[in-house]
Every structure is written in C-alpha cells, then in structure tokens.
Structure 1
C-alpha cells in the first residue's frame, strides 16, 4: 500500500512540474512577440528619422546609404584595332562556258558534273563522219595534184612547157594542202577538251543531241586564279585601299588566312551604295568557287587606346558615362566615345586606363553610392 501512495505522489509532482514548465515557455514566447513588435516599431521610427535627416543633410544620406554588392572590371590601355567586316564570295577568273565549234550530233559524253579534269582532257565527242569523208576526198585530190606538180616542175626545170602551167600546178597543190589542214582542224574540234585544269560544274548536253557552233555544252571552273569579291559601303571610300591587309574567314570550313586587297572598284552601285573590292586568294584545297567568306579589313588602329566593354557605358542628357570605384564609392565619370568594334569601345577622353569600373551591379549604383566588392 505504501508503495502505491509513493508512486502516486511522484506522478503528481511530475505533473505539477510539467505544467510549470509549460507556463514558463508560454510566458517567454509572449515576451518574445512583444519584443519583436517593439523592435519593428523602433525600426520604423529609425527609418523615418533617417529619411527626414537625409532630406535635410545630403552628406548624412551618402554616409548612411546601404552598400551595394558589385563586381569590378579594369579599363584597359593598349592596342586597339578597328575592322570593316563584310561578306564576300569566292569567284574564279577561269569560270567559263565551253561551247561547240562545229555542227554535228553528240557521239560521246565523257565528263560528268563535279569531275576534276586536266588541261586538254576530252570532255565530249561530236560525230565527225562527214568531215572524215571530206578529208579522204581532199587527200586523194592532193595526191594527184602533187604528182602533177612534180612532173610539171621537172619539165619546167628542163625548160619544157610554159611558166603558167607550172604556176597553176603549184597553186592547185598548195590550195588542196590548206583545205586539208582546215578539215583536220575541224576534225580535231569535234573532240571537246578542257581548256585548263579544273572542275566540270554543269553538263548542258546529252548523248545524241544535235549541236551547232556556239551551243553551250559545259560550265567549267578552273582550280586556280581564285579571288574573293565583296561589296563595301561607300562611307569607306578612301579608307579601303589596294594593298591593305585583310583577314579572311571561311565559316563553312572553319579556316582563316591573311592576304591583301588586290583591287578596289571605281564605281558606286546606285542600288545598294557600295563599291567592289577584290581580294587575292592563294590556292587552297578546300576552297571552292561561290563559297561564302567573311572579310575583316583594318581601317583604324591606336597603340595606346583606353578601352572598356560596351555594356558598361551608360547615357543621360549630358552624355556618356561609366561608374568607377573610388574609396569604396561608385563615382560617375563622363567619357568621350571613340570607335567601337564588336563588344569593345575606345574611350577618347575621361579615363586614363588604370581605373576600376563597376561591372555587375552597375545599373543599381549611382554617383556616390557605397559599394562592396564581391570576391570573384
């Protein structure tokens, strides 16, 4: 029985202690809430006072303004180059249309589109049967005329016969020789040959087709004497000259080379207000006619230029400006722009090249703002 009452007493003691702890915790929570409300009210009062004082004292406003977290970028002093960038096309001075020189039916076509051929290699053959018959006939006539001339010449040497007979025999023989040479030339032209080494771009005839002198048969492009032609805006007249250095990039094959301007056009195209520029192109295995290229022609350079990224330059009613970091503050510095190439701008005046510029966060700062530079 005694043990029962002891256990009951202990349980009651624990219950009372637990209730006491809960009451104490609730009291502390109430006190915390009260303090928070007091702190919030006090913070509002402080902010209101700071605002009122800042309106009356600008120095106080600058000193007590919150620091803005930023990153920085240094202005650069060094070489600055500006380029004119235009798109050009690879052309060939040996881009020709090969036509037939004699009439006849196409007997054989040896070339196919895209075929690489050497100079003099046969491309097609025209039926030469009628020419061959004429050659055979003239050869027989020439054989007889040669025999008559030889006999007449022996008689003339022996003072027999007249000079007129000798001259007629000679003239007959020489005329037939010229006729035979002309027919053989026509026969040779029945075989269409490559005028120089290159590529058969287009085949314009078919087997069995009847062609006449002047009929286009092949579009042929030589594999040498390539150049690039581009249209340049007329505002660069006097800037782009013959002999200027040019950097050429071929996007399709990801290759770059440096060459020179070989010719500058003297006429402005009234449709797009541009003039032609021709650039010498050395022989390259992967470069083909009509390939697109990008030309970078240097038109300006400065050895000691101050440059900054474009996006850091802002503008107001007074002009262009950037923010520089001085003694933990952002300072508004007005600048004079020079030329811009891609994402870099030359600064003509306003910076010396050793300034630290506000980078990330440059749109959140103002003149005289406190700044805190983040670790990069």
Structure 2
C-alpha cells in the first residue's frame, strides 16, 4: 500500500522532469536599443479659444430698387431676371408723349419770352436817349426800366422751364445705377409706372456681406474690426471676414442684434448663400496641440511627452474641438508639459529626444 502511494506521488514529478528535459530553455527577451531623435518640442499652454457660432446669409451691400421719377405707362423693359447689367445701361423706357408735349410748350413759352425781352430792351434803349434830351419824365423812364426787368425775369423763367422739361425727357429712360444682376422684375410693359414704386431690383456682386444675428449675451463681444471665420456651405474653404457693422438696436422678440461681416471677393460667392460665422469671444483653460503632434499607438491617440531625462513617453489624450491644423485637449496633458511637436512614425517609447526649435 505504501509502495502504491509512493508511485502515485512520484509520477507527476517524473513527467515534469521528462517534459522539461525535452524542451528548450526559455530565451531572454531581446533588448531594443533606444534611438536618439532631433525633433521639435513644444510646451503645452492653455490657449484654446472660446468660440461662438451663428448662422446667416450672404447679402449684397448694393441692392437697389430701381424706380421711375415720372408717372407714365411703361413702353418696354429691356432686361430679364438673372441678366447682368452695366452701370448706366438702359433698363426700361416709358411713354414720353406727355414729356415731349411739355417740351414743345416750354419752348414756345421761351420764344414768347425772348420776343418780349427784345421789345422791352428796344424800348429801354429808346427811352434812355429821350430821357437824356429831357423828352420824357423820370416816372416814365422808371416804368420802362420796370418793364425791361420783368421781361428779363420772364425769359429766365422760361429757360428754366425748358431745362426742367428736357430733364424729364431723360427720366423717360430708366438706367441702372450700379453694375450687377437683375434679381427681380416687378413690372411689365404696359403697366403704369408711379414715382417711388420699384420696377426692377438690381444687386451688385461686389461688396458682399454676411448678415447674421447675435444673441443678447454675446453682443458685448462684438465690435467693428473684429475678425470672424465664415463657412459657406457651397464653398470648399472658409472665408476670413471682418465685422463691419453692429446694429445697436435688438429685436424685442428674439433678443438678437444684427451684425454684418465684410467678405473678400471670392469666386462662386453669391447673395443668398447660407453659412455660419464663428467668432472668438475668449480663451478656455484647455491646451491646444498641433495635429502633427498626434500619434496613434495601440489604437489610442496621444502625444509623446518628455520626461525629466528627455525620453519620449506616450500619453493617451482625450480630445475635444478640432480645427484644420490643431486639436483641443480635454484630458491627458497638463499645462507646462513638454511634448514632441512633430512626431515621427518610428518614434518609440523610451527614445531620447533632442529638442530643436518647433516650426510655427
């Protein structure tokens, strides 16, 4: 019985000795030598901007409602919606029969006034000679001079009336005050044009603005000259604009204030386009790192932070807002920590980094 118990205890030991005798001894892990890199290094600082975003539309700063100064029937309108027009181009013509009749009437009045003036001038010259010889009294001479002055003023009045009538003829042709595009045609040939009633609407393609409305809580941060980034949905890249107008009177219903942003001349930018404006209204305590500093190791995104010996230590980051060239860090990086500003794909944990000047 004892012999059987001894064999039972010895069997596992023998089996283990056999297995370890047949196997190879475990190899020591290969030690990878740390490399030295010359890489740009930055110091983390709290500089993430606090941004405020609003929506709006592109508007023309030169939107003109073209109207007539005369009352008359429209003979023809020479443009259509969407048509490009030049400054001074004829857009419409009115029936000028009444104007032409007025011109003929004022010309006749001017002719009569000229004849009366010549007659008064002849009388004045004749009476002056008679007065010098003492043939007429001073009272008669005074009346002749008065008649001459009245004839002269009547002539001036007739000439002014003719100038006014000729100016009315020019108003029968309605021209464009700006170079732009016809965006609305409000009247047709045969309609009655009334002074002050728009016939056409013309928008200039230059001097475009982005019109938006800012909430009451943010209006204090708005001022003329403040930069803004405007993203138009139909354009591939955002535009850098400048606040040019802040209307200091808010809407009592929406509690918002109108703000207009001047935009640069851009191909494809047209009035009516929808977009978003981003204003920087402050700074947050979260640091910002350049995109080229981010590295991915083991499925995690982070940066290489330098320890006290100048060795690279991978640090996982939790990121927040993103921009084209930088990323906000929500957690994982403290202020004043140094990190590699432009990471190399072959950079490994523990490599030594010799700092060089970080590119701007």
TM-score bracket, shorter-length normalisation? 0.5 to 0.7
Residues 44, 333 of structure 2: 8 Å contact kept: no
Note the 1:54-73 alignment, pairs <5 A: none
1:133 is displaced (CA, Å) by 1.6
Residues 44, 334 of structure 2: 8 Å contact kept: no
Superimposed CA distance per residue, residues 175-231 of structure 1 (whole angstroms, 9 cap, x where no aligned partner): 111111111122111111111222211111111222222232112222333211112
Q: What residue number does 1:316 align with?
A: none
Aligned residues: 263
The answer to whether the aligner puts 1:93 opposite 2:84 as a matched pair is no
The answer to whether the aligner puts 1:221 opposite 2:203 as a matched pair is yes
State the Cα RMSD in Å.
3.9
TM-score, structure 2 normalization: 0.62
**Cα distance between partner residues in 1 of 2:201 and 2:242:** 29
**Equivalent residue in structure 2 for 1:134, among 96, 102, 124:** 102
1:349 is displaced (CA, Å) by 9.1
**Equivalent residue in structure 2 for 1:117, among 85, 90, 96:** 85
The answer to whether the aligner puts 1:267 opposite 2:235 as a matched pair is no
**Cα distance between partner residues in 1 of 2:149 and 2:222:** 69
What are structure 2's unaligned runs of at least 5 residues? 1-42, 129-140, 292-315, 340-348, 350-360
**Cα distance between partner residues in 1 of 2:149 and 2:91:** 44
Q: What residue number does 1:192 align with?
A: 174
**Cα distance between partner residues in 1 of 2:254 and 2:320:** 24
1:254 is displaced (CA, Å) by 2.0
Q: What residue number does 1:48 align with?
A: none
Q: What residue number does 2:344 align with?
A: none
Superimposed CA distance per residue, residues 17-66 of structure 1 (whole angstroms, 9 cap, x where no aligned partner): xxxxxxxxxxxxxxxxxxxxxxxxxxxxxxxxxxxxxxxxxxxxxxxxxx
TM-score, structure 1 normalization: 0.60
The answer to whether the aligner puts 1:295 opposite 2:263 as a matched pair is no
Residues 263, 277 of structure 1: 8 Å contact kept: yes
Superimposed CA distance per residue, residues 223-274 of structure 1 (whole angstroms, 9 cap, x where no aligned partner): 3332111122333243333322211222213242212222333334343333
Q: What residue number does 1:23 align with?
A: none
The answer to whether the aligner puts 1:234 opposite 2:216 as a matched pair is yes
Residues 286, 328 of structure 2: 8 Å contact kept: no
Residues 135, 180 of structure 1: 8 Å contact kept: yes
**Equivalent residue in structure 1 for 2:226, among 244, 250, 253:** 244
**Cα distance between partner residues in 2 of 1:348 and 1:153:** 101
**Cα distance between partner residues in 2 of 1:243 and 1:157:** 71
Residues 307, 347 of structure 1: 8 Å contact kept: no
Residues 308, 347 of structure 1: 8 Å contact kept: no
**Cα distance between partner residues in 2 of 1:212 and 1:243:** 41
Superimposed CA distance per residue, residues 331-356 of structure 1 (whole angstroms, 9 cap, x where no aligned partner): xx9x9x9x95359654489846679x
**Cα distance between partner residues in 2 of 1:243 and 1:128:** 49
**Cα distance between partner residues in 2 of 1:243 and 1:215:** 37
**Equivalent residue in structure 1 for 2:72, among 104, 112, 116:** 104
Q: Answer with 244-253 or 300-309: which moved more.
A: 300-309
**Cα distance between partner residues in 2 of 1:117 and 1:163:** 56
Q: What residue number does 1:315 align with?
A: none
- 116 and 176 in structure 1: CA distance in 2 versus 1, 3 angstrom threshold: same
Q: What residue number does 2:321 align with?
A: 341
1:94 is displaced (CA, Å) by 1.9
1:113 is displaced (CA, Å) by 0.8
**Equivalent residue in structure 1 for 2:49, among 64, 70, 81:** 81
**Cα distance between partner residues in 1 of 2:108 and 2:196:** 32
Q: What residue number does 2:31 align with?
A: none
- Answer 1 or 2: which has greater helix percent: 1
Question: Secondary structure of 1:183's partner?
Answer: helix
